[in-house]
Amino acid sequence: MKKKVIAALLTSAMAVSLLAGCGTTVESTGSSQSTSTTETKETAAPAETETAAVETEVAEEDNTDLSANITLWTYPIGKWGDSATVDSLITSFNAKYPNINVTVEYLDYTNGDDQVNTAIEGGQAPDLVMEGPERLVANWGAKGLMVDLSDIMDDEDQSEIYGSVLAACMTKEGAVYEYPLCMTAHCMAINKTVFEAAGAMQYVDEDSHTWTTEDFFKAIDAVYAHTGSTVGAVYCSGQGGDQGTRALINNLYGGTFTDDLHTKYTADSAENVKAIQALADTDGKIAFDASIAGGDEINLFRQGVLNVAFCWNIAQQLNSDNNDAGLTNNGDEIVFMAFPAEKADATQLCGGIWGFGVFDNGDADRIAASKLFIKYMADSADGTADAVLSSTYFPVRDTVEGTDLTGLYNDVPTMQEYSKLMQFLGDYYQVTPGWTEARTAWWNMLQQVGSGADVQTAVDEFVSTANAAAAAQ
């Protein structure tokens, strides 16, 4: 990440006024729901099978009277998965654009992708989707389904958005398939209360939230000796929260998941094989659990069944559903941690980037209206601050239309402390071709290892499957 990002996040006092439940990288439970945020109007006509190239240059000041019905489908990105919060955001949008009716569908990470893909196949794709580059750019964008948003991202916008974020939202040819809004670093967590009782806090640098690989395994041994039960889980029932298992394995001995150019998968490196073998050799202290995904692991951690969690981020640290933020259900203290590395300060955290993409449904007014929505939420003095706050994550730019975004979070010390992790953000490799297939192959590989398969054989099979998908895209 550029020094600009680090400086902005480390020198800003950061807090959050809206607390999140599960972060976007965790599988949510329950069915999706939809709501219309304005008076019900006639549903827009289905998109034609063959979409036309549509010229939709957008100038906000010239389109306040634009009339259109558009649909927004959003994954649970902080409070963007909460209907009351989104209703409030759209009410603000409608104060400026009263004739644009926005109907919202709330997706989860269990069935959301299937819902979107089914809608695409039926010619009923939503107008707007809020998610990350791995879906909007590397998947649907790469398939030619998305509108190029470069016409609403001028040179000033590009100069304001952090370079590492911008690169993930654009193709090599310069097409912009995601207009970014917010970002974070994913991490892990420990039960400090149990670690203290086990004498394991000596292995943790609580100030920097880092630790070495050697100290990580020493801590696991100490906690296991104290509790007599499994300390953590390499969850692998599905892809939910898989950024945690990737970061754990890649960091332990300095492995990589893809090459620098994001053209192929490199998880079969000697470093990664060594890491997976080391986890498998803990004799149950860290279990390969094919019955749970990331969201389940979080629940077990909060319940005190597990004492480390590999699926964590700021939204989880701020979660107060079952107790005060930063506490487990029974009141134990939670400390967020970077993933262990041989040199603690060399840890590389997976990042999350979220924003908006527009499906090309061939309707000029709906595309224009969708772009106005994006500009209001992600690039306006009126809407962007609230849109970022609602995500419970960090802004992807310092300023918007002269408004300082670095001071959004001023009151909650947790956000100030969490910003220490932002300097460890690693490569955003989730835009590598074949990403969807690679994610499935990853948890299948972990299941094989948990069932006793040879690690090298299982990892080789993963890389073969993932690279075949990358080559075919």
Q: State whether 96 and 126 are in the same domain.
A: yes
- Candidate ranges 9-13, 14-18, 344-348; pick with highest mean pLDDT: 344-348
Q: Can you give the pLDDT at residue 219?
A: 98
Q: Can you give the pLDDT at residue 9?
A: 33
Is 145 inside any structural domain?
Answer: yes
Condensed to tens digits (0 to 9), the pLDDT of residues 166-180 reads 999 999 899 999 999
Instruction: Tell me which H or E stretch contains 355.
Output: strand 351-358
Q: State whether 208 and 162 are in the same domain.
A: no
Sequence-distant (≥ 6) Cβ neighbours of residue 396 within 8 angstroms? 161, 162, 165, 180, 181, 182, 183, 353, 355
The helix/strand/coil state of 328 is coil
Is 209 inside any structural domain?
Answer: yes
Assessment of whether the complete model's pTM goes beyond 0.95: no
Q: State whether 101 and 224 are in the same domain.
A: no
26 CB-contact burial (10 Å; exposed 0-12 / middle 13-18 / buried 19+): buried
Q: State whether 145 and 236 are in the same domain.
A: no
Q: Can you give the pLDDT at residue 40?
A: 32
Instruction: Give residue for tokens 């949510």.
Output: 28
Backbone angles phi, psi at 122, to 5 degrees: -90, 10
Q: State whether 146 and 292 are in the same domain.
A: no
Is 427 inside any structural domain?
Answer: no
Is 428 inside any structural domain?
Answer: no
C-alpha dist (Å) from residue 141 to 138, 267, 328, 350: 6, 25, 40, 22
Q: State whether 146 and 270 are in the same domain.
A: no
Does residue 247 carry a pLDDT above 80? yes
Q: Compute the average pLDDT of residues 184-197.
A: 97
Condensed to tens digits (0 to 9), the pLDDT of residues 280-337 reads 999 999 999 999 999 999 999 999 999 999 999 998 999 999 999 999 999 999 999 9
> Rounded to whole angstroms, how far apart are CA atoms 298 and 307?
10
* Overall domain count for the chain: 2
Q: State whether 344 and 376 are in the same domain.
A: no
| Full residue range of the structural domain in which residue 72 is found | 3-184+352-422
In the structure encoding, which two tokens stand for residue 66, read together?
Answer: 């634009």
Q: State whether 257 and 370 are in the same domain.
A: no
Q: State whether 393 and 268 are in the same domain.
A: no
Is 356 inside any structural domain?
Answer: yes
Q: State whether 450 and 418 are in the same domain.
A: no
Q: State whether 400 and 466 are in the same domain.
A: no
State which of 403, 422, 441 marks the end of a domain. Answer: 422
Is 270 inside any structural domain?
Answer: yes
Instruction: Give the model's confidence band at 24: pLDDT under 50 very low, under 70 low, under 90 confident, else very high.
Output: very low
Q: Can you give the pLDDT at residue 473?
A: 80
* CATH number of the domain bearing residue 284: 3.40.190.10
Is 326 inside any structural domain?
Answer: yes
Q: Can you give the pLDDT at residue 62?
A: 59
Average per-residue pLDDT in the chain?
A: 88
Instruction: Tell me which H or E stretch contains 280.
Output: helix 270-280
Spell out a b/e string for 394-418, using b for 16 or more CB atoms within 10 Å of the CB, else e: bbbbbebeeeebbebbeebebbbbb
Q: State whether 101 and 35 are in the same domain.
A: yes
Is 43 inside any structural domain?
Answer: yes
